[in-house]
Amino acid sequence: MASVVEYKGPKEGYRCGYCDSPAGKVSSGMWAHSMTVQDYQDLIDRGWRRSGKYVYKPVMNQTCCPQYTIRCRPLHFQPSKSHKKVLKKMLKFLSKGEFPKGNITEEPMDSQMDDAAVDDFALKSKLDIQSDHRPFDEDHNKVVESEVKEKEEDLGAKETKELSQSYTKKEKLGSGEPSSSVKVVPTVPNPGKGADLSKPPCRKAKDIRKERKRQKLILKSQTDKLEGVQVQHEPQLLPSEKSKLNQPKSIEDFIFDTLPEDAAHRLEFTRFLCSSPLEAENPPNGPDCGYGSFHQQYWLDGKIIAVGVIDILPYCVSSVYLYYDPDYSFLSLGVYSALWEIAFTRQLHEKTSQLSYYYMGFYIHSCPKMRYKGQYKPSDLLCPETYVWVPIEQCLPALENSKYCRFNQDTKAVDEEQIKELDRLRVLYKRTIMPYNIYKKRQKGPSDEAVVQQYADLVGQTCSERMLLFRS
């Protein structure tokens, strides 16, 4: 089994969905007739990404919004305050049926499908799902497919907005959309009289609660002694037990927490192989579900509310995109599904130790609403020149100064997969597999060596020798 690809070459001068430049996007692409999971793993580790069967790579030093491959390290991941807020919201909804208080507004998501594939083919195919559940296309089970939304939620937007409103007043357009020339008027505090020196200084609420609790314990102890009751002290915890109690909750504590029997709602998950260029594999040392592309379905009380498309590869779970029912946007399904997939990656790691990363697609620092991916920590960005992973904290200062950056600080480092022997590249020509040096002798017409060299430089030496480049 070998990957068969048809190189389409560079493409430039089309609209960017991030900065809205009419002709700023530049990328190279190829059509994958079939692809092994190992080849795709190696390609995404060189900055490639698939959208359906179209696999593309942004030309980083030319495109208007450089897209850096980002991966999270789930084994060391701890949910942030914003993440826990989403997890708690889901838990309350499932267990008690509680809806979020206040105005329910959908968190912003990027409705742009990743990238050059939009012009090469329309990814509008229905989900090819075989299931014992009710049909997917029933009206009450319909998931919005007209907007294929990648999980690109601005996780801190709501908290930031509330915080800024307490300090500023913003003028908005009548439509409710923020103007590009918004005036920010600082709120000046009213003059005060200063601290009252006749009164004790203010104390923190936490300290006051501790003091009250201590007073109650003293009072209870004294009451017990007066009544002749023998006070029974609670058993002392061992240091290891204390440390466990002090540890912050993990994602599993929220997601896999057992719901009460009388829970208001039930959220279930099912997984199905889906149409993809990736060839499904199920090796004995791999995960139980095997490798390949999957539809991860989210069923709420027997009704499908979201479908996440993921690729399970030898070293990672790669998030592709998410369909979801907008009626349930109050549950922040984009964030919740990302956290669930991180927890799922941890589960797979227990069976397959080398599978230990969660790939979130592209990080685009020049687009503010795309920076949220950096909040899934710890995470790394891929150096666009040497293809080594660098912690995102080390990359951010450089990205503040320039949209395009080389992250590898070693000036002597080069791409270890750079092409050294083009003749060893494999070609599929007239239904025959042959090395490139043989193909050149049989080729009729003008030489295509410049195009083949360009393809080889992009995929690297190893993939060029494994994959079959279709030539007509």
**Domain boundaries, given as residue ranges, for the chain:** 4-74+366-471, 82-154+250-358
For 86-103, what is each residue's pLDDT tens digit?
999 999 999 999 988 765
- Residue 194 confidence class, pLDDT cut points 50, 70, 90: low
- Average pLDDT on 341-351 reads 97
pLDDT at 197 over 60: no
Asked whether the beta carbons of 384 and 60 are under 8 A apart, the reply is: yes
- Average pLDDT on 317-346 reads 96
Whole-number average pLDDT of the chain: 80
For residue 105, what pLDDT is reported? 45
- Residue 258 confidence class, pLDDT cut points 50, 70, 90: confident
For 415-432, what is each residue's pLDDT tens digit?
999 999 999 999 999 999
pLDDT at 441 over 90: yes
Residue whose token pair is 């989210």 = 298
Residue whose token pair is 């908290």 = 159
- Residue 196 confidence class, pLDDT cut points 50, 70, 90: low
Closest-CA residue to 70 (of 309, 276, 372, 325): 372
pLDDT exceeding 70 applies to what percent of the chain? 72
Sheet of strand 426-429, all strands in order from the earlier edge strand to the far edge: 49-51, 54-58, 25-34, 4-14, 468-471, 426-429, 432-435
pLDDT at 27 over 60: yes
Select the more confidently predicted residue: 128 or 459.
Answer: 459
- Average pLDDT on 254-273 reads 89
For residue 185, what pLDDT is reported? 38
For residue 246, what pLDDT is reported? 62
Structure tokens at 67: 């897209």
Q: List Cα–Cα distances, 235 to 87, 232, 238, 240, 241, in angstroms.
A: 33, 9, 9, 14, 12
- Residue 1 confidence class, pLDDT cut points 50, 70, 90: confident
Question: What is the CB neighbour count within 10 angstroms for residue 1?
Answer: 7
pLDDT at 181 over 80: no
For 385-406, what is each residue's pLDDT tens digit?
999 999 999 999 999 999 999 9
- Average pLDDT on 63-67 reads 97
- Average pLDDT on 438-454 reads 94
The interaxial angle of helices 81-96 and 333-351, nearest 10 deg, is 100
| Beta-strand relationship, 49-51 and 379-382 | unpaired
For residue 100, what pLDDT is reported? 83
pLDDT exceeding 90 applies to what percent of the chain? 63
pTM of the shown model: 0.74
